[in-house]
Amino acid sequence: MSHPIKIIVGLGNPGREYEATRHNVGFWLLDELAWQWKTAFKEEKKFFGEVVRMSHPEGDVWLIKPMTFMNRSGQAVAALAQFYKIKPEEILVVHDELDIECGRIKFKLGGGNGGHNGLKDIQACLGTPDFYRLRLGIGHPGDKALVSAYVLNKPGAEHRQLIEDSVKKSIKSIPLLTVGEFEEAQRFLHSR
């Protein structure tokens, strides 16, 4: 039996200058989810981030937006997981993915970090890559030298719409993920 998801982490960078950037799509998704759940994030210094706890019949689900900047995201994830004794395989990390076409979604357990500094730090702090990832495609600028500027800038109107559509579709899979219906969620997320 699969473990249901108990923590959903949205990756991004704090600060107004990063709000609408590609690297913050994890924050976009969590903000939309909190809005749909009619709740609001509260800063929790002991978890190094903004946190929401939602009670569902199946159990509590935590949403966290690390406020540590991307390359220190693991500090927040590990603090929350250790405090509530939540296993890595009960954690879902929502992040931007360069290697996936803009607007596409991929869901998986474990794997490498693809050079993503947020994933790299979470793996280091949890001591394992075995957590779930919801990878929201942002496309690639085509040249490795352009990647940093690309992810830290706002997408154009067309790409922004594709990303927003992928966020909305992803949110529809959350009820499946919080009860451990991963295969069904994956089929839905990977469909066009």
* 110/130 Cα distance (integer angstroms): 4
| 154: amino acid identity, one letter | K
* C-alpha atoms less than 13 angstroms from C-alpha of 98 in its C-beta half-sphere: 18
Question: Is residue 87 a part of any domain in this protein?
Answer: yes
Question: Is residue 13 a part of any domain in this protein?
Answer: yes
Question: Is residue 2 a part of any domain in this protein?
Answer: no
* 94/106 Cα distance (integer angstroms): 10
Question: Is residue 17 a part of any domain in this protein?
Answer: yes
> What pLDDT, on the 0 to 100 scale, is given for residue 35?
94
* Domain of residue 11, residue span: 7-190
* C-alpha atoms less than 13 angstroms from C-alpha of 165 in its C-beta half-sphere: 11
- pTM, entire model: 0.96
Residue 138 — φ and ψ, nearest 5°?
-120, 0
Q: How far is CA 96 from the centre of its chain?
A: 8
Question: Is residue 61 a part of any domain in this protein?
Answer: yes
> What pLDDT, on the 0 to 100 scale, is given for residue 94?
97
pLDDT averages per 10-residue partition of the chain, 192 residues: 87 95 96 94 97 87 96 97 96 96 95 91 96 96 92 95 96 92 93 82
User: Who's near 124: CB < 8 A, 6+ residues apart?
Assistant: 74
Question: Is residue 1 a part of any domain in this protein?
Answer: no
Domain holding 174: CATH number? Answer: 3.40.50.1470
Contact 147, 141 (CB under 8 A): yes
Residue 47 — φ and ψ, nearest 5°?
-110, 5
Contact 49, 38 (CB under 8 A): no
| 8: amino acid identity, one letter | I
> What pLDDT, on the 0 to 100 scale, is given for residue 115?
85
Question: Is residue 154 a part of any domain in this protein?
Answer: yes
Annotated binding residues, as ranges?
Answer: 18, 69, 71, 117
Question: Which structure tokens are listed for 6?
Answer: 């108990």
By annotation, the residues acting in catalysis are 23
Question: Which structure tokens are listed for 125?
Answer: 């702090």
Annotated binding residues for tRNA, as ranges?
Answer: 18, 69, 71, 117
Q: What separation in angstroms does the CA of 188 have from each of 106, 174, 178, 192?
A: 10, 11, 15, 9
Q: How many domains does the chain have?
A: 1
Question: Is residue 59 a part of any domain in this protein?
Answer: yes
